[in-house]
Structure 1
């Protein structure tokens, strides 16, 4: 036994360090005046593992292997090596000296040259061959995908653990870990795994994903969270000129426009997996632009990317996200085909970008394997399911996951699953998630019933005065096949109760055949939008705005009853038809909807006037929203992405005499919205609305060019118009709005740090009203139609304190109108990345 002990001791001495071998290092790189050196290169010697310091000169790196030397270099400085005496080395301060002699090395200081730069020669080869690399070179492809998404609370310290919010949940801190990217401690709060079969056809082009298994721990309501994540972490291709992340468009380091926004340096060359590769470092030429810093390894013959690491610069104009880190690895197939096998994306969500600020990590790790090529499938295979959910994919056993995961869970990760499952039973955690749910949805849920929306509880207008509203809806889950909702409201000035109720039921799931109906009696601001919907409980903001410019007493007492049937035979193409019965009457003594039923004559100069409009109407409409993604599979769905194209057409026909209906007429409405992403220049929205009413109708049934008398920006309205300023029966409106995403302000030195964003836009309206419709008008309101097209233009500043936007709008013509709004200022609040 005594002879064996030394052998065992030696075995443990040799093997144990290999089992637990790991190197971690962090610090700051400075010059001789102790100023940080941004975008310096930091690598483990004799490896391809490296990073680039951030704008504050700081870095963090780790590896499961043991390294003893760190190499630091930067343009214009001499290279320096640091000996690592321990496996964990934090808070180094590394000083670099300015380079004294160039020798045979070409040094670029500040902005690198666009001429005689070998890195740019390689970059041009990448552009030339990018369509011949990866999946692009095949007509069809198949592969298996494993995806793991995790959300973590980060920057866990002793003070954080003692907060009252965690009382009763202290056990969760047994699972704190350290990020391999930032070196910060974190605690997992949500984990999702998915196994997916991916099919693609580059000739069509189409991609279809079939989920085989899905597993979640951390929160209930998995589908909403997963849909949110799907939009938040949308797929991207580093070979594309622009990469969309968090509703922003970043310039890819491989972009053909990259030379204008990035500096490139050829740093090294080496064999990686038996392939000779060049290493190129890139970093932004200017601050505040949506760019990355990092490096990539590229093969010397195919010029395909072997590995790329990149992080968003902290000065980038993006809110609520402190860090974004992307890592992709490509493996070689058949000696020359480089295919993506690993994609890692980490984001650090935080209120601000200070180094010590706490937040939440969002991490997505994706692996690909078992590629197959040129197996053609019929076009109908790629047709999207309209409304399909396979609940079996959420019920796979632990044994199934152990056998089919691309990588096994570590013991720490297995412990996280157990911790999250236990967390669901803790009352304190349930209370916390309930608060988050209420703020996000606007409803308070109690045993299958939602009280709300809470944000509509109070309102104000000149007729009702202070308005109090209570309501609710049935809600058992996001996939409810039916829903009933109702509200009641009371105005303290008119002393009247209002009410509304509606219900809908999905009678067939595959094609989303839904029947709906309801009744409502309320006070409404007509003319606040042109294109109408049939949502019986919808109420525009102009009806209850607490603060308005000028009088908003032109309100209508509306009674509305409808019944509809809708279906979606093709994904994102919906048809709906039904009937509506409505009554319209002025709700204010300062406003009239009167019309002549008998025209004035010499014998009867007053004519016969009626104040109430009664109308029965048949309606059919179609809505097409390509590329829209939705949440859940029930009778109601939420939108999971933006922007997307919208095309809407509505045809209505009024029938006189049916249930005492007053008028015969036909009405056609068309709405078209097209978002356009213009790379680094931002995003535009084009909106076109067309409409015509055939027949003679009173004021309540005409089309009003929508004004905006609130102090807030409202989509699809004209900021310098009052309600009922322009009245039409034939109209065309056009709107163009553009968000530069801070591109212009980033070029102005003293404005860069503000991270403001600039907006511009123009709106125009054309319309006419027939002599017959003018003739029956007895309201006393003079009909003015914009036969000489009305227009206004605006410029705005957004991202003020991250949540506020100001729009300044100027009226282009019709300036002679009494009390005209030549210039207005509107504001809006919103949380945007």
Structure 2
């Protein structure tokens, strides 16, 4: 959510290079009734430079050389050639006539037939050969890579330039240029270049990239934006059935399911680089699905792609992105091997998809060269570094870049770097850049100190009433080897101060050996999460939600002190061990954690009761997060991608008598989360939690099936359960939820334009509690365990106004218990693609 929030902020605050193309044409294609013609083919005559009109019939095409004739065609219409009298032609209107005669030509209009379509015959050949082309032909490969990423504000006009926001920064508009894809003016705000060597081994399915040089201007050093860029521009393969962009799974036009998703038309054939190729145009069969429109050239013998251009359809159910354009070019090696040499991806971020809306371009251009094959590397070569950074790659001088760039920068591109470096010294720009950082990180920076997190400043619960919290952390940079963090809070109802502080220090960078410790004295809603967290400064939303349902006074005074050491010997595999000391005591007169130290007997009918639990605990845990990508190399890192698999195992042992501890016990916990992308059907999440406590313990140390008495959706909690409704010492919970990404609503005409997204899910819990644990209970709370399996199910609507989600939840069992919630409505806000 934080990363996507950056896009919204950039629309408002982020203020490229000039490429002097010789011929530019933009306009609209219409039929004789003046209705737009979508997916018409536009090409400069006798070239392979082409584009396809969008759903509104609009297009933009550009050539680096002078062109005199534009050819426009579409299935069902006569081809039209237009003579260009000048190099720049904007707001062109091209009218096509219906095709009058058909001589041995099959024409496909609307949904093309799946029979007797020559384009489909070619497509099937592509499927047969897709794993026998390109880099897949070799056991090993290596190549050099050059990548340039740019962010630009687009649709710059005279009114925009006069905006008071840019007072003192007017010089930046000297660098405005026109996009070769959309024809819109744009202004750069960020440029990053990287040179690297790429090694791959198809036998063991391993790829390693070694960065040789990196150069950044604009938001240099901003880890939130760099993290966003890493996530934004994930790698993709057009031969795969689905292409993942912006966390969405788009059906590839080369997919084996493409026949059911796209219409294909064999449009042309020609020699390209001395290879005879077919040109196939594709466009979606239905609106609102995650699809592309465009065309590709494919070789007639190897059936390898020579060139492909595709754009996401305007009706695709994706937020904050108005246009996505992909262009790939392949060169021929050894007469028959087609190798990807250029990959260009442009995205137009905007609040809405209106033609004139202003936004931000995100562009990535990647070149590959100097390919070598079948040079084996030992398997250990591909082992990922746990925590490696070579600062020398950021220190390359201008002479190095001038010599090693695959594509030379022209004078205007070099001027952009100077402009951005100058811009960073302008106070107004600094203020805007700081605002981006504050909203993304939640902290306000003062020299080497961050104030925050600002989103935790206010809260409310029945014990504290209105809660105000202030805090901060040390911050010298994203790669700090140590960090100290603290907060203090005050409740206006209980009139008490709370506090917490923690510190961590990375004593070994290579294996990320980190020691940490801290102390917290606060009020907490136990039973709002299942798997134990010993994070000193962690605080769940249930502890300070402003609005709750039912009675919410089951709060606990907690004093928590811990010391830990962690190591990451293998990338994304972390081990941690340490000790914890805590005391637990009820914070409310309506709630009790009392337990018997001496059970009632004939001699002592009332027994001996204690209301405070004191416990020391040894802990060891392991966490494995394969395919998780992180950014920064300090004691704290940012996550650069989602989703990823999470596997967590925790073992705890309590020791009676150590620091006056009350109990001996052992506890084992297991957590597993598996996200699954099911192509066009959306995304599924499976979450499994298991746990068992061996020994006799009181309520404060038992496992509580997590309820949710807030009005907001909380992951891993049960929407229809109250806090402490189910108590266990042995449990198993399973959650399944699925997001269809609007695929079902897209089939309903009156709902299609809303771009809502359907969500469904089921949650279940099983657990028991021993007779011994029941016997020492003196809290007055009747222990109920879900021995007959508690379950609930939900259906929801997401993407309401692009930022809101509603979940409707029904209780499926334990319907006769008092004060239960048979039906619940939860909401959540978030910025999602």
TM range (shorter): over 0.9
Contact preservation (8 Å) 2:458, 2:466: yes
- Is 1:630 the counterpart of 2:630? The answer is yes
Which residue in the other structure is 1:523 paired with? 523
Equivalent pairs counted in the alignment come to 815
- Is 1:423 the counterpart of 2:423? The answer is yes
Which residue in the other structure is 2:331 paired with? 331
Q: Deviations over 1:686-745 (max 9, x none)?
A: 000000000000000000000000000000000000000000000000000101111111
Instruction: Show the 5 A alignment for 1:170-181.
Output: 170-181=170-181
Which residue in the other structure is 1:558 paired with? 558
How big is the shift at 1:820? 1.2
Question: Alignment partner of 1:129: what SS?
Answer: helix
CA distance in 2, matches of 1:267, 1:326: 20
Which residue in the other structure is 1:502 paired with? 502
Which residue in the other structure is 1:87 paired with? 87
Question: Alignment partner of 1:384: what SS?
Answer: coil
Question: Alignment partner of 2:753: what SS?
Answer: helix
Is there any run of 5+ residues in structure 1 with no aligned partner, and where? 1-18
Which residue in the other structure is 2:220 paired with? 220
Change (3 A) 1:471 1:20: closer
Which residue in the other structure is 1:409 paired with? 409
CA distance in 1, matches of 2:458, 2:229: 33
How big is the shift at 1:78? 1.3
- Is 1:600 the counterpart of 2:568? The answer is no
CA distance in 1, matches of 2:101, 2:589: 88
How big is the shift at 1:91? 0.4
Contact preservation (8 Å) 2:682, 2:741: yes
Q: Deviations over 1:737-781 (max 9, x none)?
A: 101111111111111100000001000000000000000000000
Contact preservation (8 Å) 1:284, 1:293: yes
How big is the shift at 1:491? 0.4
Question: Alignment partner of 2:791: what SS?
Answer: strand
Instruction: Show the 5 A alignment for 1:695-706.
Output: 695-706=695-706
CA distance in 1, matches of 2:647, 2:463: 36
Instruction: Show the 5 A alignment for 1:247-646.
Output: 247-646=247-646
Q: Deviations over 1:378-400 (max 9, x none)?
A: 11000000000000000001000
CA distance in 2, matches of 1:102, 1:812: 63
- Deviation larger for 227-236 or 591-600: 227-236
Question: Alignment partner of 2:440: what SS?
Answer: helix
Contact preservation (8 Å) 2:224, 2:441: no
CA distance in 2, matches of 1:87, 1:163: 32
Which residue in the other structure is 1:710 paired with? 710
Change (3 A) 1:214 1:118: same
Contact preservation (8 Å) 2:227, 2:638: no
Which residue in the other structure is 1:14 paired with? none
How big is the shift at 1:680? 0.6
CA distance in 2, matches of 1:626, 1:30: 51
Q: Deviations over 1:137-156 (max 9, x none)?
A: 11100000000000001000
Question: Alignment partner of 1:708: what SS?
Answer: coil
How big is the shift at 1:220? 2.8
CA distance in 2, matches of 1:552, 1:181: 56
Which residue in the other structure is 1:6 paired with? none
How big is the shift at 1:20? 6.6
TM-score where L is the length of structure 2:
0.97
Is there any run of 5+ residues in structure 2 with no aligned partner, and where? 1-18
Contact preservation (8 Å) 1:567, 1:575: yes
Contact preservation (8 Å) 1:471, 1:486: yes
Question: Alignment partner of 1:122: what SS?
Answer: helix
How big is the shift at 1:226? 2.9
Q: Deviations over 1:358-384 (max 9, x none)?
A: 010000000000000011111100000
CA distance in 2, matches of 1:223, 1:211: 18
CA distance in 1, matches of 2:210, 2:414: 26
Instruction: Show the 5 A alignment for 1:181-200.
Output: 181-200=181-200
Change (3 A) 1:652 1:569: same
How big is the shift at 1:224? 4.1
CA distance in 2, matches of 1:639, 1:273: 43
Which residue in the other structure is 2:746 paired with? 746
Contact preservation (8 Å) 2:620, 2:650: yes
Contact preservation (8 Å) 1:224, 1:632: no
Contact preservation (8 Å) 1:217, 1:420: yes
CA distance in 2, matches of 1:533, 1:786: 23
How big is the shift at 1:451? 0.4
Which residue in the other structure is 1:680 paired with? 680
Which is bigger in relative contact order (C-alpha 8 A, separation at least 6)?
A: 2
Change (3 A) 1:21 1:769: closer
Instruction: Show the 5 A alignment for 1:59-78.
Output: 59-78=59-78
CA distance in 2, matches of 1:610, 1:622: 34
CA distance in 1, matches of 2:196, 2:552: 55
Question: Alignment partner of 1:615: what SS?
Answer: strand
Question: Alignment partner of 1:56: what SS?
Answer: coil
Q: Deviations over 1:608-654 (max 9, x none)?
A: 00000000000000000000001100001111100000000000000
Question: Alignment partner of 1:754: what SS?
Answer: coil
Contact preservation (8 Å) 2:482, 2:504: yes
Contact preservation (8 Å) 2:222, 2:437: no
Q: Deviations over 1:802-827 (max 9, x none)?
A: 00000000100100011211111100
Which residue in the other structure is 1:139 paired with? 139
TM-score where L is the length of structure 1:
0.97
Change (3 A) 1:20 1:175: closer
Which residue in the other structure is 1:819 paired with? 819
Which residue in the other structure is 2:129 paired with? 129
Contact preservation (8 Å) 1:216, 1:222: no
Contact preservation (8 Å) 1:481, 1:634: yes
